[in-house]
Homo-oligomer: A and B are copies of this chain.
Amino acid sequence: MASSSSLSLSQALLRPTPLPSSHQPSLRVSPSLRPSPSTAPLSLRRRAAHVRASVPVKTVEKATSDVTLVEKSVNTIRFLAIDAVEKANSGHPGLPMGCAPMGHVLYDEVMKYNPKNPKWFNRDRFVLSAGHGCMLQYALLHLAGFDSVKEEDLREFRQWGSRTPGHPENFETPGVEVTTGPLGQGIANAVGLALAEKHLAARFNKPDNEIVDHYTYAILGDGCQMEGIANEACSLAGHWGLGKLIAFYDDNHISIDGNTEIAFTESVDSRFEGLGWHVIWVKNGNNGYEDIRAAIEEAKSVKDKPTLIKVTTTIGYGSPNKANSYSVHGSALGAKEVDATRKNLGWPYEPFHVPEDVKKHWSRHTPEGAALEAEWNIKFAEYERKYKEEAAELKSIINGELPAGWEKALPTYTPESPADATRNLSQQNLNALAKVLPGLLGGSADLASSNMTLLKMFGDFQKDTPGERNVRFGVREHGMGAICNGIALHSPGLIPYCATFFVFTDYMRGAIRLSALSEAGVIYVMTHDSIGLGEDGPTHQPIEHLASFRAMPNILMLRPADGNETAGAYKVAVLNRKRPSILALSRQKLPNLPGSSIEGVEKGGYTISDNSTGNKPDVILIGTGSELEIAAKAAEDLRKEGKSVRVVSLVSWELFDEQSEAYKESVLPVAVSARVSIEAGSTFGWEKIVGAKGKAIGIDRFGASAPAGKIYKEFGITKEAVIAAAKELI
């Protein structure tokens, strides 16, 4: 394969390449990437890679100058990483030095992207699952012409306010798709990205117009491979037959504690074959460029399975004294070893220098990327002309604009509506929303019939029915969360939801935290949210979970009490596209309470009933979720005894915190210190709400196995307890 770029560039320039306006479809046709190469309108060099996919004949001849230039480019990547880590005196040079060859092939030869519009919809996605090696990605983005990583950004690696933080962060660096660093997350995100592509392609592609058509690439290391989340996600990728997911396994035999021999001697190949992947081994990842290229070709030719390309590399390649040792993994090489490496690799340049020929070689990606997007925009315009409805739907998924009036689909309830579990009410909402939100899709970790998450008008997203929207995650909570992060970050209009028992957020907390950090608006449908689940006992009963998420930044912890509040929770969740939501939902039936409302939920906390005047009730009873009913009943009794009682639903602490001081005072007046809260969970944190003089009724021990009513009674989560506490305080 010719990797000379001047030809491509000149050819690309044979046609006018309109400046792509960011985020807006423009007017040119992209090369048809799959079937008949002869019909492709442009002979961009990049296309050659795709041609190879269907015509598996390897080009064996190669101009020496090309090889030299490739190696020079690869060494540029290595030294940009070395120099940035050295300047910061912090970071991970080992991976970029070892993975520079595959990185080069991917970003320079294989991937479709537009550096001037990192959000171009049909770009190939790349995930550095081994996120500590982020200097690899920063170097590649820099060479490829992304404005987010200029030389000054490389020089500011790991410094306050820079666009080159210590691990790849999508919210800091355009061009970075997802946030990685915690190992195993990235490959699971990549599965989500590939799922999204397969799903959208199935829904929107037409025989004459494959408008959705891109690959997802990932690099993962030994660390990612050891993490259970990676196995979960990769098992699903195999099950779903995600043929356009191509993962490079950086097989360097070194992890932080030393040689992988000490803890990781499994056969990754056998495991992945068992998981239903196609597995290829590139034995020389340090300079076997042709083998890397051929492996990608082969991977693309296998359309019904994801591919793992095991690439054996040397960590810290080029460093004469530190290569192939853990010492090069996570520390700067040191001035002396940097010098030795410069000598060893014949690199005479100053730190951060990109040689002119390398710069020139890479410079074509700006016009080429613009051309790619422009062509796709023409294709989209044609699509729009022929398939108006689908185009509008796809556009809303691409842009993330919610359809006008979508919120009218939310069901409403009155106190006369039948009592129901909020998990069932949740299903009513999901099914109502699925009709109006084209990007809503999701499912449960093998608890669909308990979590009540099936979308009744859709079938299952499966290998051969990828256009459907019910995703069956199996018992893989952590993988599920990370896959949903990938879906959410694929396109702004995709709204993934996922479900399990609330207590099993413990299994997926790593992924949930990354939803919060990376601004992925996943909706977590978490049912069986307290001791109210009864007989399954303490292993299944959440206690500390509400508190644990209230303490987490940038996430909404919502615990609705009835139908209207569940609808409100969904309204909030859908609107918060950059902040994930967790809905804690009951297994048990709950009545629809007078005074509950969608609008109330949007404020986080609000008064559902009050018989006082002048904003000075004798006592305020505060509840959430299933215990709001108990508070309301206690209030009734107290009012019969002549007390003035306010009942407050505190469905989301985060939203309430964001309200004006005046509003908060109107709900929880400072002057009223007689406050009783009731929630079937840890009282930790409730002092903030009830104050030093108030009383928080809750559970500060593990649960128990018994019918729910019995546990409530034994644990004192009762109306009587609320009344007694209130009387003490009044």
Complex contact B476–A227 (CB within 8 A): yes
List residues of chain B with CB within 8 A of the CB of A682. Answer: 551-553
Complex contact A539–B266 (CB within 8 A): no
List residues of chain B with CB within 8 A of the CB of A714. Answer: 160
Task: Indicate if A692 sits at the interface (CB-CB under 8 A).
Answer: yes
Stretch at the interface among A71-79, A190-198, A228-236: A228-236
Complex contact A257–B539 (CB within 8 A): no
Task: Indicate if A352 sits at the interface (CB-CB under 8 A).
Answer: no
Complex contact B265–A536 (CB within 8 A): no
- Roughly how many angstroms separate A687 CA and B692 CA in the complex, as a whole number? 9
Known: A165-B704, A257-B448, A547-B685. 20 other contacts (CB 8 A): A158-B706, A167-B537, A167-B539, A169-B538, A182-B504, A226-B446, A227-B477, A228-B229, A239-B263, A239-B265, A256-B446, A257-B444, A263-B473, A265-B276, A272-B274, A506-B509, A507-B509, A507-B510, A684-B685, A692-B692
Complex contact B158–A705 (CB within 8 A): yes
Residue of B nearest to A518 (CB): B539
Contact of A535 among B158, B184, B232, B510 (CB under 8 A): B158
Complex contact B274–A268 (CB within 8 A): yes
List residues of chain B with CB within 8 A of the CB of A159. Answer: 705-707, 710
Task: Indicate if A100 sits at the interface (CB-CB under 8 A).
Answer: no
List residues of chain B with CB within 8 A of the CB of A702. Answer: 516-517, 553-554
- Encoded as 1 (CB less than 8 Å from any B CB) or 0, chain A from 473 to 489 comes to 11111110000000000
- Which chain A residues (150-167) contact chain B, with CB distance < 8 Å? 158-162, 165-167
Residue of B nearest to A706 (CB): B160
Task: Indicate if A386 sits at the interface (CB-CB under 8 A).
Answer: no
Residue of B nearest to A691 (CB): B692
List residues of chain B with CB within 8 A of the CB of A448. Answer: 256-257
10 A-B pairs with C-beta separation under 8 A: A90-B707, A160-B704, A167-B536, A182-B506, A266-B276, A271-B274, A506-B513, A507-B509, A517-B538, A544-B553
Task: Indicate if A711 sits at the interface (CB-CB under 8 A).
Answer: yes
Task: Indicate if A534 sits at the interface (CB-CB under 8 A).
Answer: yes
- Encoded as 1 (CB less than 8 Å from any B CB) or 0, chain A from 442 to 469 comes to 0010111110000000001010000000
- Roughly how many angstroms separate A183 CA and B536 CA in the complex, as a whole number? 13
Taking the closest CB of chain B, its distance from the CB of A165, in whole angstroms, is 3
Complex contact A88–B535 (CB within 8 A): yes
Complex contact A256–B160 (CB within 8 A): no
Taking the closest CB of chain B, its distance from the CB of A501, in whole angstroms, is 9
Residue with the greatest number of chain B CB neighbours at <10 A, chosen from A226, A535, A539: A539
- Roughly how many angstroms separate A710 CA and B538 CA in the complex, as a whole number? 43
List residues of chain B with CB within 8 A of the CB of A179. Answer: 539
List residues of chain B with CB within 8 A of the CB of A472. Answer: 257, 262-263
List residues of chain B with CB within 8 A of the CB of A477. Answer: 227
Task: Indicate if A273 sits at the interface (CB-CB under 8 A).
Answer: yes
Task: Indicate if A401 sits at the interface (CB-CB under 8 A).
Answer: no
- Which chain A residues (201-236) contact chain B, with CB distance < 8 Å? 222-224, 226-232, 235-236
- Encoded as 1 (CB less than 8 Å from any B CB) or 0, chain A from 248 to 290 comes to 0000000111001011111111111111100000000000000
Complex contact A551–B540 (CB within 8 A): no
- Roughly how many angstroms separate A229 CA and B227 CA in the complex, as a whole number? 8
Taking the closest CB of chain B, its distance from the CB of A631, in whole angstroms, is 21
Complex contact A475–B552 (CB within 8 A): no
- Roughly how many angstroms separate A227 CA and B508 CA in the complex, as a whole number? 11
Task: Indicate if A665 sits at the interface (CB-CB under 8 A).
Answer: no
List residues of chain B with CB within 8 A of the CB of A509. Answer: 506-507, 509
List residues of chain B with CB within 8 A of the CB of A232. Answer: 226-228, 231
Task: Indicate if A131 sits at the interface (CB-CB under 8 A).
Answer: yes
Complex contact A270–B263 (CB within 8 A): no
Task: Indicate if A616 sits at the interface (CB-CB under 8 A).
Answer: no
